[in-house]
Structure 1
């Protein structure tokens, strides 16, 4: 089978960039709902997972029919899926949105992008193998970028609250777990089925705590528009476009292109919500994005500790 030409890869590039932009803007929409409309982060996470989960499972049923339920046949796979939904999906969604509510969409998204560093650390320990040079460089960039983002270069004060930093780092750890835990499932079952079931399980489980049938905040056309965007564009379409782009241009290039997500969140937060973002914030953002680029290149080289 012939490799796709540069012209044939254009749709894949557009889809990867679109998914990153959709994800970034959805973070800003969440900030808008928290700050301007008084919505609760836990409530938003619950409904986002439940609705998007149903949509993705429906999509999986249409595309795969009976195979969408194959994941439940073996107890081992069912247990993995339950853990992914409850500990992975809920954790990564809630810590991210709560981090936004404590700071802003740009800062929370950028802090979450430290997650790949924790993935590297996990595989280094698992394989008892020291990280390669490019991964040490990525760690340095991540730490430097985070320092600039939360201190603006000062060793005496923080520019965001300690609570926001804590939840931002927790979000990065949750992202690492979310990335590592379902690897076994994704080798056998489609991403749409795994993610759809994971979201639905997480949403239903979290609803026992959040009681999402009680609406809070101000509900008008702006609220509905932002909420719909988060579910449809920021979850379902972003996920579908990213997966489709991987089939066209490959996982490495797709991952590199989606690293514009923090930039998307930062730009929309600055120009839409008036978030203050100084030169040092942009520099910190650039350093953390450099982390993603280096780790992706390290993974593609075949020598990285990211290899399973």
Structure 2
């Protein structure tokens, strides 16, 4: 009986690991799909973000409605302060993350933009150190050094005379990392009261509708082609809805710390796909820089939680 229970536990653990890995692959492929939409179908980040947030937000709320019921889904609107927090999270957090990330891809490529976005934990570390009036710990300092060195190599490919990546892509990518830090730290009060699926659903829908005031999400800015339809559908369904639910479902089998550590596979999958399918060139210095950024996230994900519990994460996007 003991052996059987141990085998079931191990099976469930690997099931959770597989769910996170599939989610990270979907996120990575989603960025690559967006790059194709920008470069080949001439879709603007403005339009794609509007469609992605509006449609996926509505679908997430419908799934949450079937799971939790109408009272739970709309409970966030009963508290005025929570409504204000939700609106701020929607526009400055979720919308900020989405737009800056896709804008970075438009000027650069999915691999570089995803790696730059994963510098977000550095901003979180610096903020927490300032808030608690303490110096960064040794592991945190090492992570900051790895991150800065990684960004330098990734952007310059080891050549200090020119940028390997377009400066706008770097700026938007770092802004994406900053907004990741914001939407990770800000909704802590909301996460204690509402399920992440409800928060993400309302946040995505509000952000998409707000952005849609200037861009009709149901009017394609270019000629609709089978490729455009398939790629947009993948970004909305697999890159958002399915990936999100696989990540959340994995927490029933593995801890949040393990899940967040495995989520580091997103930039790795984005880089592999960009290099193999889109033929994005990454020299040895750039690959070394990417490795430094992955080491950064790993160091921060393995920080001592007993000394300072890290904030809860909604989920990588």
Q: Is the 8 A contact 1:123 1:306 kept in 2?
A: no
Matched, 1:39 2:60: no
> Which residue of 2 is the match for residue 53 of structure 1?
57
C-alpha distance in 1, partners of 2:9/2:305? Answer: 22
The answer to whether 1:133 aligns with 2:138 is yes
Q: Tell me which of 264, 267, 276 is aligned to 1:271.
A: 276
**Match of residue 8 from structure 1:** 12
Cα deviation, residue 304, structure 1: 4.2
User: 1:180-203: CA deviations, max 9, x gaps?
Assistant: 111111111001000000000100
Question: Per the alignment, do residues 127 and 307 of structure 1 end up closer, same or farther by CA in structure 2, a change over 3 Å counting?
Answer: farther
Instruction: Please show how residues 31-110 of structure 1 align to structure 2 within 5 Å.
Output: 31-65=35-69, 66-110=71-115
Q: Are the counterparts in 2 of residues 120 and 305 from structure 1 also a CA contact under 8 Å?
A: no
TM-score (norm 1): 0.96
Give the deviation of 1:143 after TM superposition: 0.5
4+ runs of 1 displaced by more than 4 Å? none
Q: Decide which moves more: 233-242 or 271-280.
A: 271-280
Matches within 5 A, 1:224-303: 224-298=229-303, 300-303=304-307
Matched-pair contact (CA < 8 Å) for 2:261–2:298: yes
In 2, Cα distance between equivalents of 1:161 and 1:269: 16
Structure having the higher helix fraction is: 1
CA distance, structure 2, for counterparts of residue 304 and residue 162 of structure 1: 36
Name structure 1 gaps, 5 residues minimum. none
Cα offset, 1:307, TM superposition: 5.6
Tell me the distance in 2 between the aligned counterparts of 1:205 and 1:131.
38
Q: Counterpart of 2:263 in 1: which secondary structure? A: helix
Is the Cα contact below 8 Å between 1:119 and 1:180 reproduced in 2? yes
Determine the C-alpha separation between the residues in 2 that align with 1:304 and 1:209: 43
Equivalent position to 2:150, from 145, 152, 155: 145
CA displacement at 1:121 relative to structure 2? 1.1
Cα distance between partner residues in 1 of 2:78 and 2:111: 41
Aligned residues of 1:84 and 1:182 also touching (Cα < 8 A):
yes
Q: Report the 3-state secondary structure (helix = DSSP H, G, I; strand = E; otherwise coil) of the residue aligned with 2:221.
A: coil
User: Which of 20, 25, 34 is residue 21 of structure 1 equivalent to?
Assistant: 25
Q: Which secondary structure does the structure 2 equivalent of 1:217 belong to?
A: coil
- Two-structure CA RMSD over aligned residues (Å): 1.6
Structure 2 equivalent of residue 119 of structure 1 = 124
1:25–1:268: 8 Å Cα contact kept in structure 2? yes
Structure 2 unmatched ranges of 5 or more: 313-317
SS in 2 for 1:12: helix
Contact 2:156 2:162 survives alignment (8 Å) = yes
**Contact 2:108–2:169 at 8 Å: present in 1 too?**
yes
Q: 1:189 aligns with which of 170, 191, 194?
A: 194
Greater Cα offset, 273-282 or 289-298: 273-282
Correspondent of 1:201 among 192, 203, 206? 206
